[in-house]
């Protein structure tokens, strides 16, 4: 079986035999797969009228467990965005009725962001569709190969996290 990356690597080997183009065999495929996955994510989220960034915030709250609330600082760590960006995102999600802000019971100056029932329904439906699409993408690999791939990718990403 051949794919487009095979052709790209062969062309570089022909044109620049002085370079080791072997990393492209893995990383160009990872880049292409990320593109396809991003398209699947956007499609799954759009079915539920969510943008990717909205899903990220709602998913962080949903994963936190009942009562599905986090401080803005915790949301920043979960989503890796700036505080100004997070404030804007929470404002927009609150305007849509997907989250609300509540005072911290232990410090009235502090705020918690809480998932609303509508937000919970939206994120639950979106994650169901997303996982269905992801299972389909990975369905061409036997379970053992998926496990090996997950471990190899874990080792590759660990130094950056």
Q: 20-49 pLDDT, tens per residue? A: 999 999 999 999 999 999 999 999 999 999
Do 31 and 69 belong to one domain? Answer: no
Q: Do 29 and 91 lie in a common domain? A: no
Same domain, yes or no: 21 and 95 = no
| Residues 41, 75 within the same domain | no
**Residue pair 5/21 in contact by the 8 Å Cβ criterion:** no
pLDDT at 21: 95
Rounded CA separation 143/98 (Å): 36
13 with 55, same domain: the answer is no
Which stretches of the chain drop beneath a pLDDT of 50?
none
Query: Does residue 122 share a domain with residue 97?
Result: yes
Question: Within this chain, do residues 22 and 91 fall inside the same structural domain, yes or no?
Answer: no
pLDDT of the residue at 110 = 82
Nearby residues of 103 by Cβ (< 8 Å), 6 or more positions away: 110, 111, 112
The answer to whether residues 26 and 100 belong to one domain is no
Which pLDDT belongs to residue 1?
A: 86
When divided into structural domains, the chain yields a total of 2
Which pLDDT belongs to residue 17?
Answer: 97
DSSP assigned state of 132: H
Same domain, 59 and 117: yes
Global pTM value:
0.84
Sequence-distant (≥ 6) Cβ neighbours of residue 44 within 8 angstroms: 126, 129, 130, 132, 133
Containing structural domain, residue 15:
1-47
Q: Output the pLDDT for position 80.
A: 86
* Same-domain status, 29 and 108: no
Helix count and strand count (H, E) for the chain: 7, 3
Q: Identify whether residues 64 and 8 lie together within a single domain.
A: no
- Residue 149 belongs to domain with CATH number: 1.10.10.10
Which of 27, 47, 67 terminates a domain? The answer is 47
- Looking at the fold, whether 121 and 90 belong to one and the same domain comes out as yes
């Amino acid at each position: 079986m051949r794919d487009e990356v095979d052709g790209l690597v062969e062309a570089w080997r022909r044109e620049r035999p002085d370079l080791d183009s072997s990393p492209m065999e893995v990383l160009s495929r990872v880049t292409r797969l990320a593109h396809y996955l991003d398209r699947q994510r956007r499609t799954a989220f759009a079915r539920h009228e969510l943008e990717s960034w909205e899903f990220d915030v709602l998913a962080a709250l949903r994963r936190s467990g009942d009562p599905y609330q986090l401080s803005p600082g915790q949301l920043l760590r979960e989503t890796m965005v700036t505080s100004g960006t997070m404030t804007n995102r929470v404002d927009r999600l609150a305007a849509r009725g997907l989250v609300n802000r509540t005072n911290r019971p232990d410090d009235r100056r502090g705020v918690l962001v809480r998932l609303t029932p509508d937000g919970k329904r939206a994120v639950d439906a979106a994650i169901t569709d997303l996982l269905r699409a992801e299972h389909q993408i990975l369905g061409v690999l036997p379970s053992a190969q998926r496990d090996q791939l997950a471990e190899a990718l874990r080792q590759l990403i660990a130094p950056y996290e």
